[in-house]
A and B are shown apart, each in its own frame.
Chain A
Amino acid sequence: MSEGSHNYLSARKGLWSWLATTDHKRIGILYAMACGTFFLLGGILATFVRTELGTPGETILDQDGYNQIFTLHGVVMVFLVIIPAIPGILGNFVLPIQIGAKDVAFPRLNLASWYLFMAGALMAVFGWLFVGNVDTGWTFYTPYSSGASNAVLWLTSAVFVAGFASIFTGLNFIVTVHKMRAPGMTWNRLPLFVWAIYATGIVQVLATPVIGITMVLLFLEKLMQIGIFDPALGGDPVLFQHFFWFYSHPAVYIMILPAMGIISDLMGTFSRQQVSGYTFIALSSVAIAFLGFLVWGHHMFVAGQSALSSIIFSMLTFLIGIPTGIKVFNWVATMYKGSVWLRTPMIYALMFLFLFSIGGLTGIMVGVLAVDVHLHDTYFVVAHFHYVMMGGALIGLIGGLHYWWPKITGRMYNETAGVIAAILVFIGFNVTFFPQFFLGSRGMPRRYHDYTELLPNFPEFAPLNLVSTIGSYILAVGLLMILVYALYSLFKGPKAPANPWGACTLEWTHTGRLPDEHNFHETPLVTRGPYDFRLADDVFGPKEED
């Protein structure tokens, strides 16, 4: 393949060629720019939150200001970053090439999903800037949100609209995986990233309508005073929480499954070894997609649901936890007798294993009924879900972006800078969030603006909060460093080879430095699995004699 002239970036020029593109790769980049911007915004909000909590008393925000900032941080990070990012960016860019397809099954629907996502995001920003403040938390619990300002309607509408983007993306990937695989790309030869995005698609299609309907009901209640959730109008005070978690727990898998897919690919490629337990990992992703619908009640052990429900939900939670634990064992085992190459993406994969294990084990802690009664709604939970959502989902995303960066941009980034930033992120993350386990289990509730007044026998919260705040600055420096060397690489980075990592999946073996507009000149014929390095003479040259 000749360099330059025919790749997907150079094939068409001009702003319109981006805004009207149906190329899955370009749509992936549109998602990357949008999600990147929102991640920066959400991160800035997070440093405001941590700065306020760094010292006792009012530091930089008053109570209402703090409540609005943490609400926005949650809404932006959950709905505009973690949920859409991996399927939107890497799913779009990588999945069709990995299965040997020219594009997704419905390219126009794919573009429509990005526009809906942007429409949702703009509604949220508009509501925030011009309608009023929202201080409900990202969970919008009633009856608090019933009494909040009308800006909450803008945010819930935004969630409703952005939800369709999620549904369209999921639908597209399900059909694409079923119908568009290249000859020889059997289900057993799908890269685990594809399996993960496929399972995620199922959850997106089945779960997202529930949050949509819930938001419509909230709308009807607020505007037309129809009693659904608000007891003052004859509604049920706990119903909203059931509806909300019926979506939002499966949504946790929308967030984490794609990251697990990335980690599987990274562990295989950088260990140059079959991913241990391939079939188990592939099928358990799909199983989790369905089981994930049966555990929403574990968010409500102390919320007034019946004890019997709590017991059943706790048991189901463990059923889902065991396969996740086994996946971690499989990833570690993948390195056994492998050839481990510690480049930046692999460092993020190992970081994922470290952080996600802590997130998972503390998840067992809060899944145990009697212990959760004490830990529920404390900083222990905040620490737990940051270990899973950021330490898991976002670290997976960052690792994946480093892995596929040369294929997306055609350039390399500075490896040393990558390693230093990864170390800063690792240290910063743990210094930020590990102290929050202590704060929570010692009794500091979450969503607290201040902790000075807690007298008389309360433990000291100030030192640990200060440590956590300092950690958040280290984390911020690490993340900004990534932004800097990524931008540098974009313009000045050395040109990447077509397959810098010695990977064996189609996006590396069957495309040039940058993929063509239609990915392949000829439809690839697949003759081996995604991690059959031993058979990949096309990548490594003929076998050396042993």
Chain B
Amino acid sequence: MNEQGSIWLPESASTVAGDVDALFYFILVTSAIIFVGVMGAMVTFAWRYRRRSENDRPEPVRESKLVEASWIAIPSILVAVVFVWGFRVFLELGIAPPNSYEINVTARKWSWTFTYPNGAVSTDLHVPVNRPVKLRMISDDVVHSFFVPAFRVKADVLQGRYSYVWFEATRVDTFNIVCAEYCGTAHSDMYANVVVQSQDDFEGWLVENMDDGSLTPAQRGERSYELEGCWPCHSLDGTTLAGPTFLGLAGSTRNFTDGTSAVADDNYLRMSIVNPAQQVVEGFLPVMPQQYALDLSTEEIDALVEFIKEQQ
């Protein structure tokens, strides 16, 4: 229907969006007609048969078989229609074309990571236009949900089990990915972009973002900072989010919730990554996941420590 969206629906930019929207508007209009009809009857009756004297005792009404049959039959037919229609579009949404381009998605509190077939990794999803893309998704921690309103697709992302979603973007632009399943503190900040690119631009981007081993440790730390999802909680500019900012952290004196304090040396930084609940800085809650000791290699942790030390 309308690509720009309406008061009811956001802009649309995928091959399935038109079918979903058509069904949405069909149900909306049908519902509106039924609603107006029922309310019209209600108001009419309430007025037309208003009480005229206290001892009114109206004659019982004989129930009309025709009226009853029609108000059973018509809604039944209508819901049968929308069920079958919804079922067909659901299959379209559920079955990815066999030639789909596959991208792996990892969700965690509170960020997304996308891994491409050539090894490129990113925090925004880059996809080619006019080509079906299939996402294989898994969560590091709790249930998340991958939702792109403009594509009309959504699927929960589970821990320990893959789930899938596919779409084919129809124009070059940038759209939102949001997390639709409640996942804790920064749930409402767990968003990313889908960058839809032409096939050429997309391939160029893929090559650019391949990890060819030429980065310095601090650069690799910066990469981990983005891809492992440090950024939603730890700012680089001094802003306080769910966790302390990295700006000026290394070398400063930290005061902890248990009343002790320590200078943030290399070992402190390392310990704060692998066992974050051991010492919690005053003013913060012990909400950082414990998973990083398992998820990150020793080299990656070293690189992150280097990166944090550079933030002065």
Contact = CB atoms under 8 A, between A and B. Distances in A.
A543 B55 CA distance: 9
Interface string B138-163: 00011101010110111110111101
A374 B7 contact: no
Contacts of A336: 45, 49, 61
B82 interface: yes
B191 interface: yes
Interface stretch (A109-117, A455-463, A480-488): A455-463
B171 to A, nearest CB: 11
Interface stretch (A174-182, A242-250, A444-452): A444-452
A376 B68 CA distance: 34
A311 B180 contact: no
A310 interface: yes
A307 B180 contact: no
B39 interface: yes
Interface string B23-43: 110011001001100110110
A332 B42 contact: yes
Contact of B23 (A328, A368, A441): A368
Interface of chain B, main secondary structure: mixed
A322 interface: yes
Given A302-B154, A350-B46, A368 B34 contact: no
B121 interface: no
Nearest to B79: A318
B242 A63 contact: yes
Contact of A315 (B38, B57, B83, B89): B83
A361 B51 contact: no
Interface residues of B, number: 92
A358 B90 contact: no
Interface stretch (B69-77, B210-218, B266-274): B69-77
A318 B161 contact: no
Nearest to B68: A277
Give the interface centre of B41, B42, B57, B79 by most chain A CB atoms within 10 Å: B57
Nearest to B137: A304
Given A364-B82, A368-B82, A368-B86, A353 B10 contact: no
Interface string A521-539: 0000000000001101000
Contacts of B28: 365
A303 interface: yes
Contacts of B242: 63
B87 A273 contact: no
B11 A457 contact: yes
What band does the interface of chain A fall in when counting residues whose beta carbon is under 8 Å from B? 35 or more
B186 A63 contact: yes
A321 B75 CA distance: 9
A441 to B, nearest CB: 5
Nearest to B45: A335
A309 to B, nearest CB: 12
Interface in A352-383: 353-354, 357-358, 361-362, 364-365, 368-374, 376-378
B196 to A, nearest CB: 11
A454 B176 contact: yes
A64 interface: yes
Contact of A442 (B9, B23, B39, B189): B9
Given A357-B39, A365-B27, A442-B8, 4 more contacts: A137-B182, A144-B142, A273-B60, A342-B46
Interface of A: 63-64, 67, 135, 137, 141, 143-144, 147, 231-232, 237-238, 271-274, 276-277, 302-304, 307, 310-311, 314-315, 318, 321-322, 325-326, 328-329, 332-333, 335-342, 350, 353-354, 357-358, 361-362, 364-365, 368-374, 376-378, 438, 441-443, 445-451, 453-459, 502, 533-534, 536, 540-541, 543-544
